[in-house]
Amino acid sequence: MSENVHSIAILGGTGDLGGGLARQWSRAGYKIVIGSRTLEKGRAAADALLAEFPDLNVSGHENLDAASQADIVVLTVPFEHQLSTLETVKPGLLGKILIDVTVPLVPPKVGTVQLPEKGSAAVQAQDFLGDEVQVVSAFQNVGAQHLREDHAIACDVLVTGNKRDARAVVLSLVEAVGLRGWHAGPLANAAAAEAMTSVLITINKHHKIDGAGLVITGEAKT
Task: Identify whether 79 is part of a domain.
Answer: yes
Which residues have CB under 8 Å from 197's CB, separation 6+?
103, 105, 140, 141
DSSP strands (E only) in 37-179: 58-62, 72-75, 97-100, 134-137, 156-161
- Across the range 74-96, mean pLDDT stands at 97
Residue 173 counted as domain residue: yes
Domain that holds residue 98: 7-207
Residue 218 located in a structural domain: no
- Is residue 217 situated within a structural domain? no
Q: Is the pLDDT at 1 greater than 60, yes or no? A: no
- What does pTM read for this prediction? 0.95
Residue 2 is assigned to a structural domain of this protein: no
**pLDDT tens readout for residues 15-42:** 889 999 999 999 999 999 999 999 999 9
Residue 168: name the closest of 154, 187, 182 by CA.
182
Number of folded domains that form the chain: 1
Distance CA(17)–CA(8), nearest Å, equals: 15
Residue 216 counted as domain residue: no
Q: Across the strands, what pairs with 183?
A: 159
Query: Domain for residue 222, yes or no?
Result: no
